[in-house]
A and B are shown apart, each in its own frame.
Chain A
Amino acid sequence: MTYDFFNKLFGSQIVAALIQSLLPLFFFILPFALFAVWFERKVSAHMQDRLGPMRVGWHGWLQSIADILKLIQKEDIIATENDKPLFNIAPLLVFVGSYAAFAAIPFSSAFIGSNLDLGVFFIVAVSGFVVAGILMAGWASNNKYSLLGAMRSAAQIISYEIPTILVIVTIVMVTGTLNLNTLSEMQTGHFWNWMIFGGPTFGIAKFLLIPFMILGFVIIYISTLAEVNRTPFDIPEAESELVSGYHTEYSGMKFAMFFLAEYANMFAVSAVVAALFFGGYQSPIGYLGNLIGIKWFIPIEQLLWFTAKGLFFVFVQMWLRWTLPRLRVDQLMAACWKYLIPLAFVNLIIIGLITLI
């Protein structure tokens, strides 16, 4: 919808496509990353009975802007023994991987970067890109900690992709679509139409689905948490063991890229989880726009709902981070291969049987 609007406005598809693709970056990812960095500090501080940043602006809300300004001014250090081309391209690749995922995420019924029929599949595929970037960063840094971190990260992301995909397959089996926009549209109405509550159809199958949907949600939430390398699955950057993993050697803007990618990724996976299980941009209680008859207000409301849902899951990620200790490497692998994957399989089969009813 926005694409058509810009297309008409500028009379050029290229300009419209450019604007369309840059919109989420400047109006969503960057502000979100700045907000999330501040929010994470505040959440962690208050969970530990501290206050967090308090000096820059009201309750330190300008802190992350000050940090970004600091990072921009920093020297860009490249060690002599680094593999320069790879070293320079790695942060870009990581960021591109997480940014590309936003292309298929429906922010509201009026705005989706690209209305792909293979939406979820695309997101899973391009976020696999991040592994390449991380491995590159670790290898090109020529530093054993970085390399160890990168190896762990690759192992972890690849392992946890399996339960993620298994759960996505479950959803696809029930709904019959990979398009996130269609998926969100299907869950319209009220919150009992959300996939976590058995989807839009009504009948005995819906109630049978609920416990398994909740199980699926828990599995995908845990495994996406591991995919974005957050605590308790942050062994790739385990501060106490590996300095800071694959981005040990990076400074200045390149470090900021990794940082931005991490926070963008956090939102991306939260958004996917929200779109799959919690109705995407759909409001749980109906729209104000419908009530007072202003149709153009609905997409804005949807954007707010979507952001709120995404933020809630980001908050839960932070909450988990400041609650749980880091898993050991073997525990991490055990959690994935011995628990999540078998459970996801069982879940897949059971939901498959239920859909036959």
Chain B
Amino acid sequence: MREYLQNIWTAVITIMIGMRVTFKHLFVPAVTIQYPDVKPQLPERERNRLYVNMDDCIGCDQCARACPVDCISIETVKGLPTEDLGKTSQGKKKALWVTSFTIDYAKCCYCQLCVFPCPTECIYMTDVYEFSEYDRDNLIYNFSTLTPEEAEQKKINYAQFEAEKAKEKAAKAAAPANPTAVKE
């Protein structure tokens, strides 16, 4: 009998305590952040969409090699000796035309591994995280500053340059080859 009454007492008291707690919480300000209207404070080193500052990129391909999911693809063409490709902000001379530099954010896992190897610190994380798309192809971002025509032109230029150099070499190789043949 004692236990029975004790049970009732415990039930009533504990329910009261519980109800008091929930009632108090009715008036506690909500912790909800009304997302699109109010944005959460992001931590300092958050990892979101990458950005490549092409002015500084020397096309060394180190970021692409560091990427664990191979979502960066870089194509480069050597610049001609006559061309001036400009300098990076640290004063390094650029030697390569970056004909294409794409990052596929659909594949990117935001690990930031590509950021550290970059010698010129031109690939880095921004605070943009709202870039969803309806079409997956739209998530492939091209950072190259050259237009496709220009890129094509650079390739042709270089091919021509190479061809000319090869011809010269062949000619040079042919010229001293003959005297030795004569000697023998």
Contacts and interface: CB of A to CB of B under 8 A. Distances in A.
A323 B22 CA distance: 6
B31 A339 contact: no
B21 A323 contact: yes
A48 B25 CA distance: 7
Interface string A283-326: 00000000000000000000000000000000000011011100
Contacts of B26: 43, 46-47
Contacts of B22: 47, 319, 322-323
Contacts of B32: 49-51, 54
Contacts of A15: none
Contact of A49 (B7, B15, B18, B31): B31
Contacts, number: 41
B25 A47 contact: yes
Interface residues of A, number: 16
B100 to A, nearest CB: 42
Contacts of B29: 49
Nearest to A42: B26
B34 interface: yes
Nearest to A322: B22
Given A324-B15, A339-B8, A50 B31 contact: yes
A312 to B, nearest CB: 13
A45 interface: yes
Which interface residue of A319, A323, A343 has the most chain B CB atoms within 10 A? A323
Nearest to B23: A319
B30 interface: yes
A49 B19 contact: no
A49 B30 contact: yes
B23 A49 contact: no
B170 interface: no
B25 A51 contact: no
Contacts of B28: 49
Interface in B31-72: 31-32, 34
Contacts of B23: 47, 319
Contacts of A51: 30, 32, 34
B106 to A, nearest CB: 29
B31 A323 contact: no
Interface string A317-357: 00110111000000000000001000100000000000000
Interface of B: 7-8, 15, 18-19, 21-23, 25-32, 34
Given A49-B30, A50-B31, A51-B32, 14 more contacts: A47-B22, A47-B23, A47-B25, A48-B25, A49-B28, A319-B22, A319-B23, A320-B15, A320-B19, A323-B19, A324-B15, A324-B18, A339-B7, A339-B8
Q: Considering the complex of A and B, which 10 residue pairs feature the smallest CB-CB distances, nearest first?
A: A51-B32, A323-B22, A323-B18, A51-B30, A47-B22, A46-B26, A47-B25, A323-B19, A49-B31, A50-B32
